[in-house]
Amino acid sequence: MARTGQRAVVVGASMSGLLTARVLTEAFDRVTVVDRDELPGEVAARRGVPQGRHPHGLLARGREILEELFPGLTSELVEHGAAIGDMQGDARWYTDGHLLRQSPIGMQAVALSRPLLEERVRARVLALPEVELVAPAQLVDLVAADGRVSGVRVHRGGATAGGADEELLPADLVVDATGRGSHTPAWLGSHGFDRPAESRIEVDLRYTSWVVPRYDGDLDGDRACLVGATVARQRFGAALAIEGNRWIIGAGGYHGDTAPTDLAGFRAFATGLPAPEIAQLMADREPVGGPWSYHFVSSTRRHYERLTRFPRGLVVTGDAVSSFNPVYGQGITVAAAEALVLRDLLAVGSDDLARQFFRRAARLVDVAWDMAAGGDLRLPAVPGPRPARMRLVNAYVSRVQAAAAVDPEVGAAFLRVANLIDPPESLLRPRLGTKVLLAQRRTAQVGPSAADRPEPTVRVPRPRDLPRSESATATEHPRREA
């Protein structure tokens, strides 16, 4: 790739900043990564990424991109304790109260803690000869003249601005990867540019996470259980296998339905989820980590793509552009896909990099945003307009999810979309539509969805062990003997 410039500065060394730095090494001689945190040399949560203490699922498309950018990363993660399995065969997905019928589909999934993922990616990025780290250092201001950003001023040593430790880092390109709290909108406003318009979906999630030991035979060997909210039970949860034979378990609710931080309260809360596994995992063991709580107010999207004027020499990416309801696990994957967009644009060279980047990134964000918005606005607790098209799509998706409980091919198609591999339109293929209709008859025969079933008192067998027509009633079957 042709060299675009001498130096790029990336502010933010979380997933988006790291992936961006990786692609910038193909176009710049020197890539300086700035973060206000002192970055740990080991696997540890840190202040600048408080969400790191909560379950982080890595979508299949995100894993693919990470593997492309860092060949061998998946194996490396597994060597460091990540659990690997099949996205459909080794995970339990409850969507709209239906347990997707489990069956291997050849889509690899890794389950691990967020700090492990970030630490391994950081190690790879910092090993690149073009990359230097400036941390801890707080971004003080962007430096600009004549409509062009030409560097950043940072305060070495962390939080407070001003003083002797302030330093200018000149750059041909500055990338803002500082996450949701990005100051670029305010900076634009105070430098004669329009601020980007914002879209929000007020989900008002409050959730709590714990780490508990993971034993052989838990969930009959499955590596993950992901439980989406239903209209009847607007609570969600996730249990992910992580390194060190542990589960990270999180659960929460929408609009005031807060998951308690005391153990007894959390256990009781978990029994109100639309599926039983999380309550079962929490019931019989003492936590070894947590509780940690998180309040996620809204999915937020900043429409940089709509701006007609934007300073040259600056790009904004990752959560600073769009941060999604974490329940859908999209953030890292969208950030990774944005890094590829930037790489492609730099490879061909562009006089109008930011504008082209925002336009192409917006198309990625559209897909993820529409899926998350559609899912959230199904729930009565979430305020917002529900246009006819959205209601129609939601009605169809609901049928797809019901069909996925009995037909693994439908489940695979659904997961390929949810994992940002295939576009949502792929669910409209005639063959799939026919299967959805046929499955509707079968689901009608096998009874109500998980959300409406009574709480089981026994361990849940894997649905693939059951005769086909019984999969949707899996929770009513007794434990399979070893």
Ligand X SMILES: Cc1cc2nc3c(=O)[nH]c(=O)nc-3n(C[C@H](O)[C@H](O)[C@H](O)COP(=O)(O)OP(=O)(O)OC[C@H]3O[C@@H](n4cnc5c(N)ncnc54)[C@H](O)[C@@H]3O)c2cc1C
Contact call for residue 291 and ligand X (CB under 6 A)? no
**Which tokens is 434 given?**
């026919």
For residues 397 and 424, give the distance between their C-alpha atoms in angstroms, rounded to a whole number. 10
Question: Considering beta carbons, is residue 4 or 317 the nearer one to ligand X?
Answer: 317
CB of 22 to ligand X, least distance (A): 13
Q: Which residue has the tokens 């995970």?
A: 91
**Which tokens is 250 given?**
């999180």
Q: Which of 74, 95, 184, 333 binds ligand X (CB under 6 A)?
A: 333
Contact call for residue 315 and ligand X (CB under 6 A)? no
Contact call for residue 208 and ligand X (CB under 6 A)? no
Each residue 137-156 as x (binds ligand X by CB under 6 A) or -, in order, gives: -xx-----------------
CB of 316 to ligand X, least distance (A): 9
Question: Considering beta carbons, is residue 203 or 403 the nearer one to ligand X?
Answer: 203
For residues 439 and 468, give the distance between their C-alpha atoms in angstroms, rounded to a whole number. 11
CB of 180 to ligand X, least distance (A): 6
CB of 187 to ligand X, least distance (A): 11
Question: Considering beta carbons, is residue 320 or 342 the nearer one to ligand X?
Answer: 320
The interface region with ligand X, picked from 51-59, 226-234, 365-373, 453-461 by CB under 6 A, is 51-59
Contact call for residue 314 and ligand X (CB under 6 A)? no
Question: Considering beta carbons, is residue 311 or 408 the nearer one to ligand X?
Answer: 311
Q: Which of 77, 225, 259, 332 binds ligand X (CB under 6 A)?
A: 332
Each residue 355-394 as x (binds ligand X by CB under 6 A) or -, in order, gives: ----------------------------------------
Contact call for residue 319 and ligand X (CB under 6 A)? yes
Each residue 163-202 as x (binds ligand X by CB under 6 A) or -, in order, gives: --------------xxx-x---------------------
Beta carbons of 294 and 155 less than 8 angstroms apart? no
Q: How many residues bind ligand X (CB under 6 A)?
A: 35
CB of 324 to ligand X, least distance (A): 7
Contact call for residue 228 and ligand X (CB under 6 A)? no
| Three-state secondary structure readout of the chain | CCCCEEEEEEECCCHHHHHHHHHHCCCEEEEEEECCCCCCCCCCCCCCCHHHHCCCCCCHHHHHHHHHHCCCHHHHHHHCCCEEEECCCCEEEEECCEECCCCCCCCEEEECCHHHHHHHHHHHHHCCCCEEEECCEEEEEEEEECCEEEEEEEEECCCCCCCCCEEEEECCEEEECCHHHCCHHHHHHHCCCCCCEEEEEEEEEEEEEEEEECCCCHHHHCCEEEECCCCCCCEEEEEEEECCCEEEEEEEEECCCCCCCCHHHHHHHHCCCCCCHHHHHHHCCCCCEEEEEEEEEEEEEEEHHHCCCCCECEEECHHHCEECCHHHCCHHHHHHHHHHHHHHHHHHCCCCHHHHHHHHHHHHHHHHHHHHHHHHCCCCCCCCCCCHHHHHHHHHHHHHHHHHCCCHHHHHHHHHHHCCCCCHHHHHCHHHHHHHHHHHHHHHHHCCCHHHCCCCCCCCCCHHHCCHHHHHHHHHCCCCCC
Q: Which of 4, 10, 14, 188 binds ligand X (CB under 6 A)?
A: 14
Q: Which of 22, 56, 223, 399 binds ligand X (CB under 6 A)?
A: 56
**Measured CA distances, 139 to 33, 183, 326, 400 (Å):** 11, 10, 26, 46
Question: Considering beta carbons, is residue 63 or 98 the nearer one to ligand X?
Answer: 63
Contact call for residue 113 and ligand X (CB under 6 A)? no
Q: Which of 15, 91, 248, 373 binds ligand X (CB under 6 A)?
A: 15
Question: Considering beta carbons, is residue 253 or 456 the nearer one to ligand X?
Answer: 253
Question: Considering beta carbons, is residue 36 or 355 the nearer one to ligand X?
Answer: 36
For residues 117 and 246, give the distance between their C-alpha atoms in angstroms, rounded to a whole number. 15
What amino acid occupies position 97?
G
Which of 181, 50, 68 has its CA nearest to residue 118? 50
Contact call for residue 420 and ligand X (CB under 6 A)? no
Q: Which of 7, 22, 54, 120 binds ligand X (CB under 6 A)?
A: 54
Contact call for residue 223 and ligand X (CB under 6 A)? no
Question: Considering beta carbons, is residue 139 or 406 the nearer one to ligand X?
Answer: 139
Displacement of CA 467 from its chain's centroid (Å): 34
Residues 20-49 that bind ligand X (CB under 6 A): 34-37, 48-49
Question: Considering beta carbons, is residue 89 or 329 the nearer one to ligand X?
Answer: 329
Question: Considering beta carbons, is residue 14 or 443 the nearer one to ligand X?
Answer: 14
Question: Considering beta carbons, is residue 177 or 413 the nearer one to ligand X?
Answer: 177
CB of 73 to ligand X, least distance (A): 15
Binding site for ligand X (CB under 6 A): 11-17, 34-37, 48-49, 51, 54, 56-57, 138-139, 177-179, 181, 294, 296, 318-320, 326, 329-333, 335
